[in-house]
Structure 1
Amino acid sequence: MSFLWMLLTYTVLISNKSFGVQNAKQAGTTFLKSPVYVKSRPYQVLYNVLIFPIFLWLYSKGIDTNNIKEFMLNTVIQWTILSIIIDYISWVLIPHKFRLTHKEFYIDYQPYITLIYVAIFVSHYIVGFFIS
């Protein structure tokens, strides 16, 4: 069930990226250098800081446990690892028009990709602050 909630969250975030970058061709440049994408990169971390805690809270509401904070920590560890794996497969390995090279994804996309994974991981602290 945790995996399904993580996939739903991931889909919401990725849809925003994919549908929001329509003018790369119009600008005569690549996806990573598109003016819309470049301007949106700092906000991608913010999306993750907002969206992942909401979905973590929604998911944890349906779970009956004695230690909700430990449960949420275990969940965000799983979600962070799954996000890293899914990002690698979907953005680097699978060929599509938004595909990135290893360098583009892991070097050129810094510090944002690291901050996004940190945002996923700290989701339990954000939710924990509001539910305690």
Structure 2
Amino acid sequence: MFEHLGISFVWLLVAYTAVTVVGIIHMYIFHIYFGVPNAKQAGTSYLKSPAYVKTIPYQALYNVVLFPVFLWFYSLGVETDNLKELMFYTVIQWTAMSIILDYVGWVLIPHPFRFTIKEFYVDYQPWISLIYLAIFVSHYIAGFFI
């Protein structure tokens, strides 16, 4: 279960980065091509930025599409007798590690897009829960195609 944790973490980081980049690109598409304001109002977080707000309903979709792809790529490089079990334990690890990465990257580390705990885990509901659910069910989606 834990023998491939290092390579699993690398694939998680690739998937996590891909989802983040797609989200940022999507936000800028709303801003540049559709004229949705991207700026936040003074004293508010980027969670209130109109371009960001427009992307929120799609964010779980980025995860439900991209995480199974990267899970499948990861599974190609791992030899196992039970692929479904490997995928199941991997998504449990990925979901837990994503929760930790989110907390560190979006709440703890100071940067312009930083959220408070309340903004990220309360105001961002139900979306953050749907994102974690999308990561968790990615083994079902990837398993469907294998």
- Structure 1 length-normalised TM: 0.92
Query: Could you tell me which residue of structure 1 aligns to residue 71 of structure 2?
Result: 56
Amino acid at match of 2:82: N
Partner of 2:104: 89
Code of the aligned partner of 2:11? W
User: What is the CA-CA distance between 1:130 and the residue it aligns to?
Assistant: 1.7
Aligned to 1:24: 38
**What RMSD, in angstroms, separates the aligned Cα atoms of the two structures?**
1.5
Whether the 8 Å contact between 2:23 and 2:62 is mirrored in structure 1 is no
Amino acid at match of 1:93: L
Q: Tell me the percent identity.
A: 59
The structure 2 residue matched to 1:15, chosen from 14, 21, 28, is: 21
- Number of residues of Structure 1 aligned to a counterpart in Structure 2: 130
Is the CA contact 2:107–2:114 (under 8 Å) kept in the aligned structure 1? yes
SS at match of 1:65: coil
Q: 1:44-63, CA deviations, whole angstroms, 9 ceiling, x for partnerless residues?
A: 00000000000000110111
Q: 1:108 corresponds to which residue?
A: 123
Alpha-carbon distance between aligned partners in 1 of 2:24 and 2:143, rounded to the nearest angstrom: 31
Q: Retained in 2: the 8 A contact 1:31–1:98?
A: yes
Deviation at 1:16, TM superposition (A): 2.8
Select between 85-94 and 12-21 the one with higher mean Cα deviation: 12-21
Helix, strand or coil at the partner of 1:96: coil
**Alpha carbons 1:77, 1:121 under 8 Å: kept:** yes
> Which structure 2 segments of 5+ residues have no match?
1-6, 32-36
State the 1:31 CA deviation: 1.0
The superposition leaves residues 99-131 of structure 1 with CA deviations (integer Å, 9 ceiling, x where unpaired) of 000110000000000000000000001111122
Contact 1:24/1:33 (<8 A) preserved: no
Letter in 1 for 2:90: T
Q: Which letter maps to 2:41? A: G
Which deviates more from structure 2 when the two are superposed, residues 116-125 or residues 31-40?
Answer: 31-40
